[in-house]
Amino acid sequence: MSEFRYGSVCSGIEAATAAWHPLGWEPAFFSEIEPFPRAVLSHHYPDVPLHGDFTTIEGNEYGPINLLVGGTPCQSFSIAGLRGGLDDNRGNLALEFLRLADRTRPRWLVWENVPGVLSSNGGRDFGSILGGLVELGYGFAYRVLDAQYFGVAQRRRRVFVVGCLGDAGSAAAVLFERNCLQGNIEERGKKSVQKGEIAGTLTTRTGVANDNYSVEQGHLICDKYGPRWIMPIECERLQGFSDNFTKIPWRNKSAEECPDTPRYKALGNSMAVPVMRWIGERIKKVEEL
């Protein structure tokens, strides 16, 4: 898969690139509007074009891409929010993602969101998204994946939709292994994603945090010293990023002076790197067949 290029929208701090760099894939562009994630992207990937509002991408200014990836804002679909769905401007960005796919026409699409999207507006919102894929000529598959089964110590369930231009079978082959396609979703043997080993403890210099937890909850945790707040470096590990990935120069301050608050927010909004790596590896295998 030489010269496999992807475009990323609602990029955040680019879990996709952290996951896919070992595959040899090349980012054609990022698109992000939040200041701190943009600073993280500029710090780590200064040579990659960094767009703002992805709805203004015309489709050809960054060259052809093989894949378009994005996790559009989840607040309008989350059961913890007001659930405005596609009527909410943020929710409507899911449809804008499809419009960008229509303008760029990549072979592959990867879209991520919270499980609440499945029931938003009685399921009609998700149906509209899937119907849009069909209208654009994409076969698709979707599946809820939980980060705790991919080697990180947090529960993080997300819906992943994979689309393949004109080929539903290839999309299904990415998200579902042979046993799953035979109806055995719960058990796939020793290498099961759904029944695999759950990542348990997070070891840090300050002790061992027990049990699993979610980056999004801001949760106190307990280690051998008692209750304490989780640290940004631990959030990075929970999401599968390298240590201090978000510790960057920020607003005329050095990396050592980088505040914790924007780091927590950026990490909480990110995808889990190991899950994205698994999806990328599956796409790569399908492409090589």
Contact of 250 with 258, CB cutoff 8 Å: yes
* Residue 116, number of CB atoms within 10 A of its CB: 20
Looking only at the bridges linking them, the beta strands covering 67-70 and 138-146 are unpaired
How far is CA 18 from each of CA 49, 135, 200, 213, 249, rounded to the nearest angstrom? 16, 32, 22, 22, 19
**Closest listed residue to residue 23, CA positions, set 274, 280, 240:** 280
- State the DSSP H helix or E strand holding residue 229, giving kind and residue range, or none if neither: strand 226-229
CA count, 13 A, side-chain hemisphere, 24: 5
Whether 74 is catalytic: yes
**Closest listed residue to residue 21, CA positions, set 242, 172, 177:** 242
Helices (H) and strands (E) in the chain, counts: 9, 11
The rounded distance, in Å, linking the Cα atoms of 132 and 167 is 15
Angle between helices 93-104 and 124-135 (to 10 degrees): 10
- State the DSSP H helix or E strand holding residue 131, giving kind and residue range, or none if neither: helix 124-135
Q: Which residue among 74, 164, 180, 258 is the active-site one?
A: 74
Angle between helices 273-288 and 168-175 (to 10 degrees): 140
List Cβ neighbours of 95 (8 Å cut-off, separation of 6 or more): 86, 128, 129, 132
Give the active site residues. Answer: 74
